[in-house]
Amino acid sequence: MKILFNKQIRALFVFAAVLFSTSMLLNSCQDLRTQTITWVEYEPVYMSHEEFINAVQTETAQDLKNPGKIYFYDGYLFVNEINKGIHILDNRDPSAPVNIGFINIPANKDIAVRNDLLYADSQKDLLVFDISSLQNPELIDRIEGVFNNSANTPPGFTTQTVDESRGLVVDWKPVVREEVCEGNCHSHPAHSFREGTIAFDGFTTASSGGGTPQSGVGGSMARFAITGDYLYAVDHRDLMTFDVSSANTQKVHRQYVGWLIETIFPYNNNLFIGSVNSMYIYDLSNPAAPHQLSIFWHATACDPVVVEGNYAYVTLRSGDNCPNIQGSDQLEVIDVSDLKNPKNIGIYEMINPHGLGIDNGRLFISEGAYGLKLMDASDPFNVKEVRHIKNLKTFDVIPLNGVLMVTGESGIVQFDYTNAPELKHLSTIPVVKD
């Protein structure tokens, strides 16, 4: 009986060893399995310098395909088609806007208007158009090489390097890649990026509050702002000042601000400048040479800012081309009654906030693919969500005189907010995909 028991034990050990070896062999085979993986990367789109210069021209109205920043001026809405140019919409009746024309501008992302002069970036250049006749805008000036812009920076993953011998980079084209590999493929660089990530340039436009009757109103994602006789523009590190008191635009000042500057917002003779880790406040007592008053540090994320009264509202966003810091999708409220000593008075969890705008305590927040939120900010110490429209894809907003203008992947959508929190839909100019 004892001998039989020992034989059974040995048999069990042998059986276990066989199972273990088989399992290891199967796992080894699994590790060497063949996989096909796909990802999206970006390829630079080039233009020769001659093509780049000659491409600027007025064209007939075009469908919106990839709308970015927006600017409202004298009843007209100017909509950036990212890296392509500017749509001109007659918005004097926001319930029936009319698409009346398009200005083809390679590598364009920002817009501002004053006294019938439209200012637009084009790669590193600043262009000035006479729009006294909106049916026939005329390019009257090109100031070359003023921006250290992001034209050479892709909006997502790429293995491509910019070859300057091929010309100027005016856009980045998403391309689906495919690769067959053995093993788990975890070492492939594309695994570090989300497939299909497309970022608006906020890498990079809300009432400006600091504008004049001759200038218009931009959104919170803007890199351009006009106050008085000056246009202020930020690239990724610098603040530039242009004298626009006449059609003879002059760059009069340039100064370093900080790391990865994204947006600019004028309010009450001050500039509020957003970067990925801070908000800078500048004084315009000497408008030709703004003076820094303070820096408010926050979590590292994309961060447009708007201001009303003594309070600034900043949305922090992760993902896209933004630094991905856990927990940074939020709204921060900052007391700026002492411009030299701003203080945080509230943090509110958001989903994926982009641009925002405020009018008389009604705070509108673009939640990207997650819609549009209306917040009650009448008490800045206790901001409350009162409405969430989820069937929109939004990027930025301009609330002005009871009309909310929204831009994003859903197109240009407008609401009457005079009876907020009720929002009455007025019109939609949809995005038309190829």
pLDDT in tens, 298-331: 877 677 999 999 999 999 987 656 655 555 799 9
Three-class SS of residue 243? strand
pLDDT at 326: 53
In terms of domains, do 58 and 121 share one? Answer: yes
Task: With respect to residue 194, please indicate whether it lies within any of the assigned structural domains.
Answer: no
130-174, pLDDT tens digit by residue?
Answer: 999 999 999 999 999 999 866 667 777 787 788 888 888 888 888
In terms of domains, do 11 and 93 share one? Answer: no
Task: With respect to residue 181, please indicate whether it lies within any of the assigned structural domains.
Answer: no
Task: With respect to residue 368, please indicate whether it lies within any of the assigned structural domains.
Answer: yes
Task: With respect to residue 137, please indicate whether it lies within any of the assigned structural domains.
Answer: yes
Q: Which domain holds residue 27?
A: 2-31
Number of structural domains found in the chain? 2
7-50, pLDDT tens digit by residue?
Answer: 444 444 444 444 444 444 444 444 456 777 787 888 888 888 89
In terms of domains, do 239 and 348 share one? Answer: yes
Exposure string over 141-173, b if 16+ CB within 10 A, otherwise e? eebeebbebbbeebbbbbeeeeeeeebbbbbbe
Amino acid at 167: G
Task: With respect to residue 40, please indicate whether it lies within any of the assigned structural domains.
Answer: no
In terms of domains, do 16 and 93 share one? Answer: no
Task: With respect to residue 126, please indicate whether it lies within any of the assigned structural domains.
Answer: yes
Cα 153–chain centre separation: 14
Kindly list the distances between the CA atom of residue 331 and the CA atoms of 68, 135, 365, in Å, as whole numbers in the listed order.
Answer: 22, 41, 9
Task: With respect to residue 167, please indicate whether it lies within any of the assigned structural domains.
Answer: no
pLDDT at 197: 32
In terms of domains, do 97 and 18 share one? Answer: no
- What tokens does 27 get? 């796992």
In terms of domains, do 26 and 75 share one? Answer: no
In terms of domains, do 145 and 6 share one? Answer: no
In terms of domains, do 378 and 337 share one? Answer: yes
CB 118 within 8 A of CB 137: yes
In terms of domains, do 323 and 264 share one? Answer: yes
pLDDT at 18: 44
- What tokens does 316 get? 């922090």
pLDDT at 35: 74
Three-class SS of residue 43? strand
* CATH code for the domain in which residue 312 is found: 2.130.10.10
Task: With respect to residue 300, please indicate whether it lies within any of the assigned structural domains.
Answer: yes
The total of other beta-carbon atoms located within 10 Å of residue 302's CB is: 28
CB 31 within 8 A of CB 179: no
- What tokens does 422 get? 């009720």
In terms of domains, do 296 and 380 share one? Answer: yes
In terms of domains, do 223 and 339 share one? Answer: yes
In terms of domains, do 206 and 256 share one? Answer: yes
